[in-house]
Structure 1
Amino acid sequence: MSATPGPIALACRFDAQEWAEWLPALAAALPGDTLVRAGEPDHDPATVEIAIVANPPAGALQRYPRLRLVQSLWAGVDRLLADPTVPAGLPIVRMVDPAMNAAMAETALWAVLMLHRGFHTYARQQHDGVWRQHPQRRADEVRIGVLGQGQMGGAVSARLRALGYRVTGWRRGEPLGPVLADSEVLINLLPLTPDTRSLIDTAVLRQLPRGAALVNLARGAHVVDADLLAALDDGHLGHAVLDVFHQEPLPAGHRYWTHPAVTVLPHVAAQTDARSAARIVAQHLAAWRRGEPLVHQVDRRTGY
């Protein structure tokens, strides 16, 4: 690392509102650094050793020949790893923020409570002017499966168990069949890797009990849309709560918008909090500059 730190490049696919939120937060957390937006001609690319990124366009990091560290503002780094122009040996650090873990747990809890207590059914009844009560089960009678037991999956599992739900967590390398067969609500929080892409297909969905629900809070590419719609159409699945999609925003006219057994969220399950994330970025960069080991460095073999 150079004696005089060069500017930090911000390679972020942000709109004007997002820049207005992130720039002040990062500047406040990194008062001794110069922050420059990638692509703007106000700095020498050869002086940049650190890039802070948020889904940068493919090839955006090529212009920095001395780049030594990439810090992602997002928890998911699948798009970054799919960019063949990113050098294989370049360290990439993903965002792990307790505030995001808590937000994800809140969304998962809301989805489970809605499905468990049938609040989506009561919403339809209100729309139709129907007064009808349904049997009410206890939380300890509802079986939940959580795919992924990393930072977010662990937080979700802990929050649900605290309310009495019967939770089974699944980790990569463990048998999946028993978890599926015992899950009335299946929550997906897996990272997107070559092994997990299109994982939730007919073969997986048909192993869930009839009437089960899917809650996808991870990546749209985990799910084969045609297979999910078929399982919903024939009643094998009772409901799906979807926060992520193959194409975002979800295109107008997509069947998910109007399907009576689908709840659509616009990728809001756990939005990154610029204030807390900026502080975490500053902590990571300070530790790296002191020569300390990186935390939450991406393992390219596993994809997260």
Structure 2
Amino acid sequence: MSMPDKQAPAANQARGILFCPTASNADLLQEALEAARGDRPLWIWPDVPSPEKVACLVAFRPPPGVFEGLAALRLVHGVGAGVNALRDAPGRPAGVPLCRVVAEELDQGMAQHIIHAILRETRDHRLYDEQQRARIWKRLTQRHACDITVGIMGLGALGLATARPLRQLGYNLVGWSRSRKSAEGIESFAGPAEMGTFLSRSDFLVVLLPITAETHGILDATALSKLPRGAVVVAVGRGGQVDEAALLAALDSGHLSHAHLDVFETEPLPADSALWAHPGVTLTPHIAASPHPLAVARLVMENLSRIERGEPPLHAVDEARGY
């Protein structure tokens, strides 16, 4: 007969939720958690009157020391698709599930952001904006989707959700991922050995990879040089995957025609970064996609209830893979 778990009584009594309001939409997330929590206590960091009763920590970027005293913690939950700040946080207890958000609104928002960037380039709206300011009436030769290949780097939920409408719009699609994927209308490439061929086919490169030790800096000068001349980079996954200095050099040389960047090595982007004023860069402050706060709150409650019932939570991070 196995010995009883000495921490089980404390864990069973702990039902509280601790929310760290570090996300940009923290007020809305707090309201959603309040609406969805039922009779569970909800505490807002740094006000934690009963740390021993915290069963779930909800955060985007956890503040230093947040895990101290959370002896009965049973779930760490992110508020978006990326949880690298939580994954790498000092003091995160081993063995406690870490979950990310997978939601329809997140998929839709990401697809909208990427398609907007691609259409802005393929239909020359960025150039037409310049012509309007200069009062120039000039029709440019239209590029057709059937002559353009979009490469999606990362074929997870967000990558596949983006691929479907792009395929309906008539673009050719290739995809690259750690392991080979099978998806309708996407020619799949996998692993380091096939990355060069994938890049050489990508007139538009959409970067949607998770951030791991293997993907940090994956798009360096050598990788960017394998893209077709005039290619466009759309980086919306995680900062640190595109070598920013190498990207600027590729834009300056004319090898790349433009870059749409939503994620960066350092966020907020430093005021002295050359990316701000570069004519070949369109940047946004990490806003490509965000799930509805109520969807986040409902998922947190569902996962906490599943753990209490002894069931595996939804969308848990694989600790070995890092995502």
Bucket of the pairwise TM-score, normalised by the shorter protein: over 0.9
SS in 2 for 1:54: coil
Letter in 1 for 2:302: Q
Q: CA RMSD in A?
A: 1.6
SS in 2 for 1:158: helix
Q: 1:238 Cα shift?
A: 0.4
Match of 1:152 among 147, 150, 158: 158
Question: What residue is the counterpart of 2:61 in the other structure?
Answer: 55
Q: 1:139 Cα shift?
A: 1.2
- Whether the aligned pair in 2 keeps the contact of 1:11 and 1:61 (CA below 8 Å) is no
User: What is the alpha-carbon distance in structure 1 between the residues aligned to residue 137 and residue 272 of structure 2?
Assistant: 31
SS in 1 for 2:275: helix
Q: 1:117 Cα shift?
A: 1.1
More off after superposition, 59-68 vs 151-160? 59-68
Q: Which runs of 5+ in 1 are unaligned?
A: none
User: 2:233 aligned with 1:227, yes or no?
Assistant: no
Aligned residues: 301
User: What is the alpha-carbon distance in structure 1 between the residues aligned to residue 312 and residue 15 of structure 2?
Assistant: 21
Match of 1:181 among 200, 209, 222: 200
Question: What residue is the counterpart of 1:242 in the other structure?
Answer: 261
User: What is the alpha-carbon distance in structure 2 between the residues aligned to residue 295 and residue 14 of structure 1?
Assistant: 21
Identity of aligned residues (%): 38
Q: 1:120 Cα shift?
A: 1.1
SS in 2 for 1:221: coil
Question: What residue is the counterpart of 1:129 in the other structure?
Answer: 135
- TM-score normalised by structure 2 residue count: 0.88
User: 2:88 aligned with 1:69, yes or no?
Assistant: no
- Whether the aligned pair in 2 keeps the contact of 1:59 and 1:86 (CA below 8 Å) is no
User: What is the alpha-carbon distance in structure 2 between the residues aligned to residue 75 and residue 207 of structure 1?
Assistant: 29
User: What is the alpha-carbon distance in structure 1 between the residues aligned to residue 256 and residue 123 of structure 2?
Assistant: 16
- TM-score normalised by structure 1 residue count: 0.94
SS in 2 for 1:49: strand
Q: 1:14 Cα shift?
A: 4.3
User: What is the alpha-carbon distance in structure 2 between the residues aligned to residue 155 and residue 83 of structure 1?
Assistant: 29
User: 2:40 aligned with 1:33, yes or no?
Assistant: yes
- Whether the aligned pair in 2 keeps the contact of 1:51 and 1:70 (CA below 8 Å) is yes
Structure 1: which 4+ aligned runs deviate by more than 6 Å?
none
Letter in 1 for 2:251: L
Matches within 5 A, 1:136-285: 136-173=142-179, 174=190, 175-285=194-304
User: What is the alpha-carbon distance in structure 1 between the residues aligned to residue 225 and residue 12 of structure 2?
Assistant: 59
